[in-house]
Structure 1
Amino acid sequence: MWGNERALPALLLVALILVVTLFAPFSPLVERSPDERKTVKDVRFVQPADDGVRLWPYTSRGRTFERATLPINAVVMTDATTTYQLLSTTPGGGQRLYWNTTEKTWQPSRTAQANVTINETGVYWAESTGSERYTFTMSNRSSQWRDATYQLHHGTYFGSRHHLRLYAGGSRDRPWTAIQAHHEHWDWFRLRHDVNSLSRSQHYLERDFRGIGLVTELSRERWANGGAIDADGWVTVIELEDRVTRGPQYDADRSETPSADSRARSTRADSQTQSEHTHTAPRVAAYGLAFSLVGLAFAGYVESVVEEGREYAAESREYVRRLRESPLSLNHVALFASTALIPLLVRVGGIAAEQAFPFTSPKVVGAPFYALLAVGLPAVAVLFGRHLTATDGFTVAILGFGTGIMLDYSYLGLTVIPYGALVQRAVLLVGLGLLAAGGTRWATEPIPRHRYHTVGLALWVWALVWPLLG
């Protein structure tokens, strides 16, 4: 055995060291948000356009400045509906926009009346859901809290994605759209999206608008609203051509035709090579010889088993006994493999289910996968850990689960992790290890073993419930 139950308290210290080692690459950059408490008098406002309308360059979890979260990092000098259309219309096929004089709105079309070619970058922005966030605008006449007019994303809900919140602002004659763009991933253990980067999505949005072909100027202005994660306080400002910002007042002579690249996509013919059959006969002969040798060996083995049945049965029983007492058994492998693979299976399965049922609520799609994570991991820890000593069960469980966490983050391509997630994972590691230690069948100290089980379950449940309570 790797040790006895009395060595388990020392392994708790080793587990803490292991947790720090596993998550050390993620520690330099954790999620941050503005922590200065602001009021209307001391909040710094910006003026995106010369229209007298000022904007508070942050978003908030509620209609209050004290709950400030992520900063605004882009503004498009047109109304929110046009911005939404430019980003969300399906790419390809020469799709274009035209101004519907009856509906007074932009609409997609392939007809000759369409005057604006859109979204030729190949980026599929889709309508999205997310927690409500607010921003604040004010002018000499009025002031108000605004919720997001539109939400868009590129990526997957249960994986990682670029997420945009569009806020309508400005005056009637000079509308603009403030955008909060960030990259985030879904945390299955905390049932929420964690933001990884703002600058990454800001660059992504800039690249997308450059590909549209309607931008007259793309620049950055210093709004001094940095400090959250990797935001630096420089905001992207996008100016569009007059035919977009002025609706139907465009120059018909300037209407574009779709480029040859946007009308047609080159296809590549896949060439298939034929197999060489020159050496088929020698291979068949070699395989036949090998199978013959295997058959002869197997026949000899069967004969020896028949002749020495009693001796073989005794040796088999002795082998099983030694296997149970060996340092590494099938239960070690099963415990490690199950705790390592379940987090990755939940991640991949959730993304696949989301794509298979795009019109179903994420809460409905994700429920079975969360149950597998929350209940399945403790179940396999107890199931396979009960055949091991407490020390072995604890060690293998935290090694397997720690590997599973790293595989999950590697699958998402993440290099940072929020501090809250780091702490929660550490508690979950210890809780699952104690569950595996408490389920051992051959423990010599039943009372301490029972305490392992109880404490492990309490830690596991508390670590899952804690994030849900805020």
Structure 2
Amino acid sequence: MRRSIVVALALLALSLLFVGGPSLLFSPTTDEIAPEEQEETPELVAMEDSESEFWKYLSPQEQFQERSPLNVIVRGDTDDILYAMTEESDGEWEEIEEVEEEYEGNETPIANETPVGNGTFLEEESRHATGIEWGEAHGTTRYFWVDPGAGEDGYWTTESGQLEEGDYYGQRYHIRLYESPNGDDQWVAMQAHTEHFDWFTLRHRVDGVEAAQTKVEQDFMDHTRIDVEEDVRRIYLGNTNSSDSDGWATVVDLTGMILLPIGVGLAAKRRTGANSASAGQQTDPQHVSERTPEAIDDRLTDVDRRRIAAAYDRLEAGHLILVFTILALLLGVRLAGVALERNVGFLTPHMIAALLYPVIGLGIPIATYLIAGTLRSRLDAAVVASGSLAVAIWLDYGLLGVDSLPVDVVVQRMLVVIALGLIAAGAAKRATRDTRVNDMLLAGAAMWVVVLGGTLLGYF
């Protein structure tokens, strides 16, 4: 029993050190602002020469919850706006069969199909004119409050369409688009954000809105028919009570432009990160010499050398196998999800999740149990398993470029790290001398099931 307590405390300390600590120190939005809910209709936003008004947030329910701040508004005909965002760079389009589905009311075809002429649809072959491959997206419904004006009542509406750039199972830029209730008002409101797919929760996690707003803004600024000084500006909406929004929305004016009849050939500008600064850095030779193995060895005391020798003697091949197995399983799911999404078109997002999630939910704990069963020490098995999972989690976030985590995600990751460590400790040889089933194994398995199951059911 005393050894079990020691293992549990060690795992708690390790999870705090390698998961909780870095998250709290380096995640700028770890303490997300709780959304406010209003019962009455709040102040609405109106555009120039427009009768209709709209609320400056989106909501997950038909209630005034300040959750997703609107950050892009484009003035102009809806078809022109969509064409500007999805047309092919060289103006060459491949004709396909006429689409039979008719769009009624305020529904507008979004994605890689553009209406021309008498209703025939053309499908784009490559990227669109401004350099970003905006394609049709799937995502959870968000509600938008609009007031048509002219004595009509306001109402909640769902998105007219969704666009994305990136990978569904990796990280992507995601845009929801909402049309004006009056065709003559000529505006489309957008909510753009960056998000990544969380394999432990099977849902997308929003990382922020500022980077996505800048990307959409730059995308329109790259269009050769847009005068940056005249047609692009920012207005202050004050919707700062969510994510990293600064309250400013981009307004792009396409009114007066006729984009549909002409395939506009534009040069797609690729923006890459600047790496030249780091390439030119030089290292002080004196500092290099101070970090050589000989210099480090000279500073070790006899006690340090004995401790290193003891740790080396405890090292088993199973430790390394366990490390690489956990890393391979978690990172392999991320890479496999992206690969299937890109290359296997008949698989829906739900199918891919059904194929790969068992690797995390069942594969990681089972593999840990089997490999840890070859190790002697309970503490060693626990530390190696939980430490490997923590490293795999941070490598995964590093591949995605995620630098901010909400508190609930941090806590959930700490719990799964502790749970896997307990499973490994309970499987070690010294823990199974009397029976294969022991308190640490049961506690770890129960925690793993409760945390993952509770997450999928929405309790965490």
1:18-43 CA distance string (max 9 Å, x none)? 233343444432373552221234x1
Q: 1:187 aligns with which of 180, 184, 198?
A: 198
Which residue of the partner structure matches residue 59 of structure 1? 58
The residue identity in structure 1 corresponding to 2:21 is T
- How far does residue 361 in structure 1 lie from its aligned partner after superposition? 1.0
Which residue of the partner structure matches residue 234 of structure 2? 220
Which residue of the partner structure matches residue 76 of structure 2? 78
**Matches of 2:77 and 2:85 in 1, distance apart?**
13
Contact 2:24 2:30 in 1 (8 A): no
Counterparts of 1:315-394 in structure 2, within 5 Å, are 326-388=313-375, 389-394=377-382
1:393-436 CA distance string (max 9 Å, x none)? 11111111111111101111111112221111000000000000
- Count of residue pairs brought into register by the alignment: 389
The alignment yields a C-alpha RMSD, in angstroms, of 3.0
Q: Determine whether 1:137 maps to 2:146.
A: yes
Q: 1:239 aligns with which of 253, 258, 272?
A: 253
Which residue of the partner structure matches residue 408 of structure 2? 420
The residue identity in structure 2 corresponding to 1:21 is G
1:197-241 CA distance string (max 9 Å, x none)? 101000000111112223341000011111211101111111014
Which residue of the partner structure matches residue 405 of structure 1? 393
1:416-460 CA distance string (max 9 Å, x none)? 112221111000000000000111233377479711111101111
**Matches of 1:447 and 1:200 in 2, distance apart?**
54
Distance 1:20 1:214, change over 3 A: same
Which residue of the partner structure matches residue 298 of structure 1? none
Contact 1:214 1:241 in 2 (8 A): no
Contact 2:76 2:255 in 1 (8 A): no
Distance 1:109 1:200, change over 3 A: closer
1:310-330 CA distance string (max 9 Å, x none)? xxxxxxxxxxxxxxx940111
Q: Name stretches of at least 5 consecutive residues in structure 2 with no aligned partner.
A: 95-112, 269-311
SS in 1 for 2:323: helix
Contact 1:168 1:176 in 2 (8 A): yes
The residue identity in structure 2 corresponding to 1:223 is L
**Matches of 1:98 and 1:29 in 2, distance apart?**
38
Q: 1:211 aligns with which of 217, 222, 225?
A: 222
Distance 1:368 1:40, change over 3 A: same
**Matches of 1:349 and 1:256 in 2, distance apart?**
37
Which residue of the partner structure matches residue 182 of structure 2? 171
Contact 2:89 2:265 in 1 (8 A): no
SS in 2 for 1:167: strand
**Matches of 2:434 and 2:28 in 1, distance apart?**
43
SS in 2 for 1:242: coil
Which residue of the partner structure matches residue 45 of structure 2? 46
The residue identity in structure 1 corresponding to 2:55 is W
Question: Which stretch of structure 1 is more off in the superposition, 72-81 or 448-457?
Answer: 448-457
SS in 1 for 2:165: strand
**Matches of 2:431 and 2:453 in 1, distance apart?**
30
Distance 1:186 1:243, change over 3 A: same
Question: Which stretch of structure 1 is more off in the superposition, 225-234 or 176-185?
Answer: 225-234
- State the identity as a percent: 29
Q: TM-score, normalised by structure 2?
A: 0.77
Counterparts of 1:242-261 in structure 2, within 5 Å, are 242-244=256-258, 258=265
SS in 1 for 2:429: coil
Q: Name stretches of at least 5 consecutive residues in structure 1 with no aligned partner.
A: 111-117, 249-254, 263-324
Distance 1:219 1:15, change over 3 A: same
Distance 1:213 1:337, change over 3 A: same
Q: Determine whether 1:120 maps to 2:136.
A: no
Which residue of the partner structure matches residue 102 of structure 1? 118
**Matches of 1:92 and 1:258 in 2, distance apart?**
4
Contact 1:73 1:236 in 2 (8 A): yes
Contact 1:45 1:55 in 2 (8 A): yes
Counterparts of 1:427-446 in structure 2, within 5 Å, are 427-443=415-431, 446=434
Distance 1:108 1:360, change over 3 A: closer
Q: TM-score, normalised by structure 1?
A: 0.76
Counterparts of 1:155-166 in structure 2, within 5 Å, are 155-166=166-177
Which residue of the partner structure matches residue 35 of structure 1? 35
Distance 1:359 1:233, change over 3 A: farther
Contact 1:432 1:460 in 2 (8 A): yes
Distance 1:74 1:257, change over 3 A: closer
Rg (Cα) greater in structure:
1
Which residue of the partner structure matches residue 20 of structure 2? 20
Question: Which stretch of structure 1 is more off in the superposition, 444-453 or 456-465?
Answer: 444-453
**Matches of 1:405 and 1:425 in 2, distance apart?**
8
Contact 2:90 2:129 in 1 (8 A): yes
The residue identity in structure 2 corresponding to 1:167 is Y
SS in 1 for 2:81: helix
